[in-house]
């Protein structure tokens, strides 16, 4: 038995699901597109924060939906590509230098990332009020009715505010876009809504350009960059979505 | 603070110089890039075709620890090549490259304040992973007199407070390869001191001159205290796929699997199919990659010899650790001036440990003719520098 770090004790109830149950619906043309890009030489690390075109498209969509406008000259500088939502949240928390005993205020009791918060030693406070140890607010687009309250709370104490869009950035039926502050709100989400993207998972973090270096640093330390085939599949998924939309 | 948590982090980053160099190089034309460790060669096409086919037909079952067939292939490879027996269901985990394996390993092993022995110079990601876990780096110095390899006696003198040893063999950034006898001696120190060893073996398939690479896990009673960390990125030129693996005792693998489940979820299935194709297919392409690096290494070594630039003997991988002290400037400045004046990008030694201002890391990830051209440019840079010094001397 190898001696383990004490933090591992917080993970005893984390299940290890059988991934065989995950359904994969990758269209042949998406797969062909991924293969073609690889055969053309995209087999190397991508630019560390992610393929610029993918980052630009995510930044543009956030702005189009009513979110903060990205940097005019370098919109890709506002976005970091990650492998999954949980990785996005992890690099955000590392970048914010949260410490054990800090608290997150949220409007929900249950979180998809509760184990990650626990791993980081964070308390989750459901009440929308500040305590001495409050370090940030966290809200999910479709699962919170208190966006304004939480953002106001973050503003009151000058705290970072995380807005988790889940897979819904391209969901045209969801309106309006939740309130966000350009210099305060970190937006995270994934591209799982596009057909095939569960097989090629991609997620993102978007925030003030001046702050992104700290999240990029931890993403790079964690896994250098996100897998090139997934990023290429995401670009294919976005193009196919636009084509259908037109 | 609870010792359970991920520790608070300083946010310090020693890589700003490196980032600046890379960004400067990106704005310039005709730069010969001998900095990064991303193989310039393309992934063999048969690996890509095979991965596509397997995903198309969705072959095999997969757990959150990775594709079953891939874990079995890795276990078979350990048994065949090293006579090490691993249970593929309990003792192997697929990760998003070795980098993720390293990061998760540190989180699984290191509590705040724990000492981690790391060879100096070292790949900077170790510092960040140890920092994230709240550990304390205990640097074990190496020197040119022993080709920058880790020596048991140096390790022995720094054991106080250490619970984990990071053993990178073959080494990045130095390219050094520790002899099997020396590995045995290091294993003995680790065993007697009850150290857990993280054995980074990312470059083990890229040893030159048919040199033997002994895994420390192969040494007496070491498998149960060793975590082997590896990837497919370097051996098969697959860095963009982000796939690697950990092999170690089941309690450790179980812990890391849970960490991975919470932090990043399962690795990309397509990349796992590609890794399976690489491992189980013809190894001809891998041998060609090694042949290519062997030729490049020779060109670079001969070039450095001709310029009188000393270096540690590169036993494996694709890095050469060169001594630039005779240029009379610290490595940051040397790399910056070399880039601007000669359009050659090298990485300063200080990116791999603060005391290495007399060294640079040269990667051989360019075609032979470009490497020869780089040597030529360094020679001209040297001549211009000497001329400048001479003129200043005459004027004074």
pLDDT at A16 (0 to 100): 86
pLDDT in tens, chain A (246 residues): 899 999 999 998 888 877 777 777 788 999 999 999 999 999 999 999 999 999 999 999 999 999 999 999 999 999 999 999 999 999 999 999 999 999 999 877 667 788 999 999 999 998 778 999 999 999 988 877 789 999 999 999 999 999 999 999 998 888 789 999 999 999 999 999 998 899 999 999 999 998 999 999 999 999 999 999 999 999 999 999 888 766
pLDDT at A137 (0 to 100): 94
Nearest chain A Cα to B257, which residue?
A: A16
Q: What is the mean pLDDT of each run of 10 residues along chain B (396 residues)?
A: 43 68 94 93 96 87 90 98 97 98 98 96 93 96 91 94 97 96 97 97 96 97 98 96 98 97 95 97 92 97 97 96 96 96 97 95 97 98 89 84
Alpha-carbon distance B197 to nearest alpha carbon in chain A (angstroms): 10
Q: Are B331 and B359 in contact (CB under 8 A)?
A: yes
Phi, psi of B344 (to 5 degrees): -125, 125
Task: Give which of B75, B83, B110, B69 is closest to B247, Cα–Cα.
Answer: B75
Whether this model's ipTM surpasses 0.90 comes out as yes
Question: pLDDT, tens digit, for every residue of A20-76?
Answer: 777 777 889 999 999 999 999 999 999 999 999 999 999 999 999 999 999 999 999
B270 to chain A: which residues are within 8 Å by CB? 34, 199-200, 227, 229-230
Q: For chains A and B, count residue pairs whose Cβ atoms are closer than 8 Å.
A: 215
pLDDT at B4 (0 to 100): 39
pLDDT at B14 (0 to 100): 54
DSSP A184: T
Q: Are A178 and A139 in contact (CB under 8 A)?
A: yes
pLDDT at B314 (0 to 100): 96
Residue A239, CA distances (Å) to A34, A66, A84, A169, B283 in order: 13, 21, 21, 15, 37
B116 to chain A: which residues are within 8 Å by CB? none
Residues of chain B numbered 130-189 and touching chain A (CB < 8 Å): 132-133, 163
Determine if the peptide bond prior to B170 is cis (ω within 30°): yes
A226 to chain B: which residues are within 8 Å by CB? 242
pLDDT at B8 (0 to 100): 44
Tell me if the pTM is above 0.80: yes
Alpha-carbon distance A172 to nearest alpha carbon in chain B (angstroms): 28
Determine if the peptide bond prior to A60 is cis (ω within 30°): no
Q: Spell out the SS3 assignment of B206-267.
A: HECCCCCCCCHHHCCCCHHHEEEEEECCCCCCCHHHCCEEEECCHHHHHHHHHHHHHHCCCC
Contact yes or no for A199 and B264 at CB 8 A: no
Calpha distance B149→B133 (Å, rounded): 26
């Amino acid at each position: 038995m190898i001696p383990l770090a004490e933090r591992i004790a917080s993970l005893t109830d984390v299940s290890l699901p059988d991934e065989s149950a995950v359904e994969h619906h990758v269209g042949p043309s998406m797969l062909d597109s991924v293969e073609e890009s690889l055969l053309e030489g995209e087999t190397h690390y991508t630019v560390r924060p992610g393929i610029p075109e993918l980052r630009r498209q995510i930044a543009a969509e956030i702005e189009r939906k009513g979110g903060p406008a990205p940097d005019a000259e370098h919109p890709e500088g506002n976005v970091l590509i990650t492998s999954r939502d949980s990785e996005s949240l992890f690099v955000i928390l590392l970048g914010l230098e949260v410490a054990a005993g800090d608290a997150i205020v949220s409007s929900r009791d249950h979180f998809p990332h509760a184990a990650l918060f626990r791993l980081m030693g964070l308390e989750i406070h459901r009440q929308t009020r500040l305590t001495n140890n409050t370090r940030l607010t966290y809200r999910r687009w479709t699962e919170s009715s208190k966006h304004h309250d939480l953002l106001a709370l973050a503003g009151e104490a000058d705290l970072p505010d995380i807005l988790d869009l889940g897979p819904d950035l391209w969901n045209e039926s969801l309106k309006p876009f939740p309130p966000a502050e350009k210099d305060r709100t970190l937006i995270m989400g994934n591209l799982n809504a596009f057909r095939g993207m569960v097989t090629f998972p991609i997620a993102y973090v978007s925030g003030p350009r001046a702050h992104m270096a700290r999240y990029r640093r931890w993403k790079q330390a964690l896994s250098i960059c996100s897998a090139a085939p997934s990023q290429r599949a995401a670009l294919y998924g976005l193009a196919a979505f636009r084509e259908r939309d037109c | 603070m609870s010792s359970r948590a991920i520790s608070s982090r300083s946010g310090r980053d020693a890589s700003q110089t490196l980032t600046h160099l890379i960004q400067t190089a990106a704005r310039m034309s005709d730069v010969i890039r001998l900095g990064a460790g991303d193989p310039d060669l393309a992934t063999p096409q048969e690996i890509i075709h095979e991965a596509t086919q397997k995903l198309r037909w969705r072959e095999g079952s997969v757990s959150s620890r990775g594709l079953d067939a891939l874990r079995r292939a890795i276990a078979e490879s350990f048994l065949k090549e090293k006579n090490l027996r691993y249970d593929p269901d309990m003792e192997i985990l697929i990760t998003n490259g070795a980098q993720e394996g390293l990061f998760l390993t540190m989180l699984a092993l290191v509590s705040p304040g724990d000492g981690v022995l790391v060879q100096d110079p070292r790949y900077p990601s170790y510092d960040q992973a140890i920092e994230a876990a709240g550990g304390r780096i205990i640097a074990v110095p190496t020197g040119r007199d022993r080709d920058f390899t880790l020596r048991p006696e140096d390790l022995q003198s720094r054991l106080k407070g250490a619970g984990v040893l990071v053993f990178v063999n073959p080494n990045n950034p130095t390219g050094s390869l520790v002899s099997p006898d020396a590995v045995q001696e290091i294993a003995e120190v680790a065993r007697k001191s009850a150290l857990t060893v993280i054995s980074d073996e990312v470059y083990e398939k890229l040893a030159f001159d048919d040199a033997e690479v002994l895994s420390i896990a192969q040494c007496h009673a070491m498998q149960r205290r060793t975590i082997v960390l590896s990837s497919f990125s370097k051996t098969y030129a697959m860095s963009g796929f982000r796939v690697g693996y950990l092999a170690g005792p089941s309690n450790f693998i179980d812990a890391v699997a849970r960490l991975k489940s919470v932090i990043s979820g399962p690795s990309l299935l397509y990349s796992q199919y590609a890794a399976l194709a690489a491992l189980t297919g013809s190894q001809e392409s891998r041998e060609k990659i090694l042949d290519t690096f062997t030729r490049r290494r020779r060109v670079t070594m001969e070039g450095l010899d001709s310029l009188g630039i000393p270096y540690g003997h590169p036993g494996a991988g694709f890095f050469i650790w060169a001594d630039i002290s005779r240029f009379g400037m610290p490595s940051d400045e040397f790399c910056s001036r070399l880039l601007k004046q000669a359009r050659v990008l090298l990485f300063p030694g200080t990116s791999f440990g603060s005391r290495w201002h007399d060294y640079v890391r040269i990667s051989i990830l360019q075609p032979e003719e470009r490497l020869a051209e780089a040597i030529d440019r360094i020679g001209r840079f040297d001549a211009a520098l000497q001329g400048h010094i001479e003129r200043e001397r005459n004027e004074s």
